[in-house]
Amino acid sequence: MDTREALGSWIDGPKAAAEKMGADFGFRGERLGLPREGSGSIAGPGRRLGALVVDSWLVALISFGLIARGSSAGSANMWTTPLLFTVIVLMLATTGTTVGKRLFGLRVVRLDGGRATIPQVLLRTVLLFLVVPALVWDRDTRGLHDKAVGTVEVRI
């Protein structure tokens, strides 16, 4: 066997090389007992990012419209992040989804399929706002913010 095959090429990466050698990584969410696709399957990173962008955009519009009306635009920017945090926590704790997640067909649930608790949602959102935990994924593409609290973002 060629050493390059064992290590993988810089284009394919080590996962592709391991799969060529017979390693079976399964599909995203298989280790968690989730389906391959459809309702209940793990949401892809593109959908999750798109939902966060929509939520951020909507909250920015709201904060600019409500707060900037009587003051400067700078004070509206100051309130956008705390307002986004509050909206995400309240909506995930009550419905399991936000407006952006709903548009992209996503929901945050516990690993057993139940609704995430308020402490789980609070810690998950704090870690999400720290950014780094959300950028570190496992092979199921669950971020550290989800792993830390035992949640997963699934398609609905």
Q: What is the pTM of this model?
A: 0.77
Q: Residue 84: inside a domain, yes or no? A: yes
Q: Is the pLDDT score of 69 beyond 70?
A: no
DSSP 53: H
Q: Residue 40: inside a domain, yes or no? A: no
Q: Is the pLDDT score of 61 beyond 80?
A: yes
CB-CB contact of 154 with 140 (8 Å): no
Whole-number Å distance between alpha carbons of 118 and 89: 8
Q: Residue 39: inside a domain, yes or no? A: no
Q: Which of the four pLDDT bands, split at 50, 70 and 90, describes residue 16?
A: low
Share of the chain above pLDDT 70, in %: 78
Number of domains composing the chain:
1
Q: Which helix (H) or strand (E) holds 109?
A: strand 106-110
Q: Which domain holds residue 63?
A: 46-155
CA dihedral 85, 40, 136, 56 (to 10 degrees): -30
Q: Residue 17: inside a domain, yes or no? A: no
Q: Residue 6: inside a domain, yes or no? A: no
Q: Residue 38: inside a domain, yes or no? A: no
Q: Residue 151: inside a domain, yes or no? A: yes
Q: Residue 122: inside a domain, yes or no? A: yes
Contacts of 74 (CB under 8 A, 6+ apart): none
For residue range 20-31, what is the model confidence (pLDDT) as tens digits?
776 666 777 778
